[in-house]
Chain A
Amino acid sequence: MHIPDGVFESPVIVSTSVLGALGLAYACSRLGDQLRERTIALMGSTAAFIFAAQMVNFPLFPLPISGHLLGGVLAAVLLGPWAGAGVIAAVLLVQCLLFQDGGLTALGANFLNMGLIGSVGGYAIYSPIQRAFGGRKGVLIGAMLASWFAVILASGAFAIELAASGNRADFFRVFGLITLVHAGIGLGEAIITGLVLRVILQTRPDLIGDSVESPARGIKSWGKVALGGFAVAAAVAIFLAPFASSEKDGLEYVGTAMSFLNEEAPAVVASPIPGYAMPGLQNYEGLATATAGLVGTAIVFLAGVSMASVFTSTVTKVALDEV
């Protein structure tokens, strides 16, 4: 997910850098108001944790690649959307400058995708869901669904940036492939975010603030709900985008890449290929992507509900009341 140098053309580099810098400046100005003693400690350890967690890759079986946590929603739930974006900016800066992970000229795009869309966009989805369910249950389910959608949104933004760099001919195929891959990353993201937040909600709910105690509340601001709804709609549109492609020649993009690999280096990549040639799915890339979207959302929601069930059990309640 960390875009390297040389992938984008100059206009995309300039525009994403300007947008990223403006977003960062706004996030920092919002941070200046709420920067208290404890916030710095929490921001520093959240950034360190996300930095460490991103070093751990989880395999995306059956694809021959792996993904890692992005952490935008996790940071936003702990710290609020703008501080969350600031944390992601710190992580990206350290990775780029000290460890050469992610290109310097792609820093703006990486921050746009993972910081602004990941944290601020993710929070816009999280907030109404959290209010609807209320309490710790709402925090967990909201954060997990928001992580899932935020990863998809970030991957869509990456596909658009790539297309703006001139790769328009293959736009929908690239789009479909990137979304499919990120559906897997999104599942991992949602599960890890949920697991970490569950422990925090069980032992130190005060870190997440006053939203934990409040029961389910009605809608306070329709504007915020609309913003969250818009973000979800955009994510859904990303899943449906491959349908808009006039050519229905399936995972041809992957095919092109893999057949090229086949000619050059058959021994190395021969084994993963049969995984792509799933009979029946070959000609329905749009269907595959849309199915991934639907199934993924259902899985994340069910996982969230089952993980949140720990908060409604009487045992936990009694234990926490005694504290």
Chain B
Amino acid sequence: MRSDRSIASGPLAGVDVRIKLLVSFGYVLTVVATPLGWWWFFAAETSLLLLVFVLARVSFRELVGRWLGFLSLVALMALAVAVSHPLRPEIGLASIWGTILLKNSLAFGALFTLSQITQHHILLHGLGRLGLPKPLVATLQFMYRSVFILRDEFDRMAKARRSRSFGKKSWGDWSSLAGLLGRLFLRSYERSERVHAAMLARGWDGTVRTLDGADSR
């Protein structure tokens, strides 16, 4: 989650963020609603997604890496669901499990592409333009800002810890580890409070303006 992260530069990158969001949501809904056993339909959905991968010029190395990590998380839960699935005697365990994994992979691919061809803050912004309530959009935008603050504070605390303990790792010391979490929260909160005050001093009125020419309303 870098603020300066580069996005894939395919022809899809320039499309309005609202269209990207609606098309991806529609695709995921279609995939999830596809009934068990409609293999030709799944094949069509898969080829559509592959076409989008090529058009969007997503990094295949990152895609495969993230996809494998994603599968390892979903596989066990999908198996537990497949084992107790009511249609198991008719269709068979393997195809139920496979279908759940396929649906999840297609949904993953669509949302992964979405997050690769859009700057993250513009994506959150687009949700607001699609009608997400304003307090939630404000929270999202400030959260996005705070994640970097949190990471900076964590780096500072880790550096301070390393320099004081001469690199010795004693994570068994639970009481100090415990204090660390709470202090990390407090420090990043206090810093984001100052950032917020600085934003107010520069005339922030609750609307984040972006260069794509649209304000969050």
Please list the residues of chain A having a beta carbon within 8 angstroms of any beta carbon in chain B. Answer: 3-7, 10, 13, 24-25, 28-29, 31-32, 35, 37-38, 40-49, 51-53, 65, 86-87, 89-91, 93-94, 96-101, 103-105, 162, 166-170, 174, 192, 195-200, 203-204, 207, 253, 256-257, 260-261
Q: In the complex the two chains form, is A7's CB within 8 Å of B77's CB?
A: yes
8 Å CB interface, B50-76 against A:
66, 70, 73-74, 76
B145 contacts A199, C-beta separation under 8 Å: no
Name which residue of chain A comes closest to B99, CB basis.
A6
Known A44-B143, A166-B86; contact A24-B193, beta-carbon cutoff 8 A: no
Complex contact B81–A162 (CB within 8 A): yes
- Of B158-166, B182-190, B209-217, the one contacting chain A is B182-190
Whole-angstrom distance between the Cβ of B96 and the nearest chain A Cβ: 10
Q: Given the complex, which residues of B lie within 8 Å of A41, measured CB to CB? A: 142, 189, 192-193, 195-196
Complex CA–CA separation, A170 to B86 (angstroms):
10
B13 smallest CB distance to A (angstroms) = 16
CA distance A70 to B200 in the complex (A): 31
Query: Hey, which chain B residues are within 8 Å of A37, CB to CB?
Result: 196, 200
Name 13 interchain pairs, CB-CB below 8 A, sorted by A: A24-B136, A31-B135, A37-B196, A41-B192, A42-B189, A44-B139, A86-B135, A100-B70, A105-B28, A195-B178, A199-B178, A204-B186, A257-B79
Question: Taking the nearest CB of chain A, how far is it from the CB of B200, in angstroms?
Answer: 7
When distances are taken between beta carbons in the complex, the residues of chain B under 8 Å from A7 are 77-78, 81, 100
Q: Which of B146, B179, B196 contacts A48 (CB 8 A)?
A: B146
B49: A residues at CB distance < 8 A: none
Number of interface residues of B (CB under 8 A): 71
CA distance A40 to B186 in the complex (A): 15
- A4 engages B32 (CB within 8 Å): no
Choose one: A32, A168, A195, A257; the contact of B86 (CB below 8 Å). A168
Contact status A32-B107, CB under 8 Å: no
The reply to whether A94 and B143 form a contact with Cβ atoms under 8 Å apart is: yes
Besides the contacts A24-B136, A48-B188, what 4 more A-B pairs have beta carbons closer than 8 Å?
A: A44-B196, A46-B185, A199-B182, A257-B80
Residue pair A90, B140 in contact (C-beta under 8 Å): yes
User: Closest 3 interchain pairs by CB?
Assistant: A199-B182, A44-B142, A48-B146
Whole-angstrom distance between the alpha carbons of A43 and B87 in the complex? 44
Is B125 engaged at the interface, CB distance under 8 Å to the other chain? no
| Interchain nearest-CB distance for A63 vs B (Å) | 11
Residues of A within 8 Å of B142, CB to CB, are 40-41, 43-45, 47
Contact B84 A167 (CB under 8 A): yes
Taken together as a complex, chains A and B put the C-alpha atoms of A162 and B81 apart, in Å, by 8
> Closest Cβ of chain B: how far from A45's Cβ, in Å?
4
Separation in Å of the B167 CB from the closest CB of chain A?
22
CB-CB nearest in chain A for B192: A45
Q: Are B192 and A13 in contact (CB under 8 A)?
A: no
Question: Given B66, B76, B85, B181, which contacts A65 in the complex, CB threshold below 8 Å?
Answer: B76
Q: Given the interface contacts A41-B142, A48-B147, does A199 sit within 8 Å of B135 by beta carbon?
A: no
| Residues of A contacting B33 in the complex (Cβ-Cβ under 8 angstroms) | 10
From A28, A44, A46, A174, contact of B145 by CB (8 A): A44
Contact A49 B107, beta carbon cutoff 8 Å: no
Q: Say yes or no: A52-B150 contact (C-beta < 8 A), given A28-B135, A31-B135.
A: yes
For residue B12, which residues in chain A have a CB less than 8 angstroms away from its CB? none
- The listed residue (A4, A32, A47, A174) touching B143 by CB distance below 8 A is A47
What separation, in Å, do the CA atoms of A86 and B78 have in the docked complex? 29
Select which of A13, A196, A261 is within 8 A of B185 by beta carbon.
A196
Q: Is the CB of B196 within 8 A of A260?
A: no
Q: In this complex, which of A4, A89, A169 has the most chain B Cβ atoms within 10 angstroms of its Cβ?
A: A4
Least Cβ–Cβ distance between B110 and chain A, in angstroms: 9
Chain B residues, CB < 8 A from A98: 1, 115, 120, 123
CB distance from B140 to the nearest CB of A (A): 5
Q: A97-B115, A195-B182 are in contact. Are A166 and B81 (CB under 8 A)?
A: no
Q: What's the Cα separation between A97 and B83 when bound, in Å? A: 29
Q: Which of A45, A94, A197 has the largest count of B CB atoms less than 10 A from its CB?
A: A45
Check B32–A89 contact: CB distance below 8 A.
no
Assess the B150–A195 pair: CB atoms within 8 A. no
In the complex where A86-B136, A105-B32 touch, is A6 in contact with B182 (Cβ < 8 A)?
A: no
Contacts known (A41-B193, A86-B136); A198 close to B143, Cβ less than 8 A: no
Inter-subunit contact B85/A90 (CB<8 Å): no
- Asked if residues B182 and A28 are in contact (CB atoms below 8 Å), the reply is no
CB proximity of B42 to chain A, nearest CB, Å:
12
B83-115 to A contact mask, C-beta < 8 Å, 1/0:
111110000010000011001100110011011
Interface status of B133 (Cβ within 8 A of chain A): yes
Contact (A200, B32) CB under 8 Å given A44-B145, A45-B192, A97-B114:
no
Check if A4 sits within 8 Å of B181, measured CB to CB. Answer: no
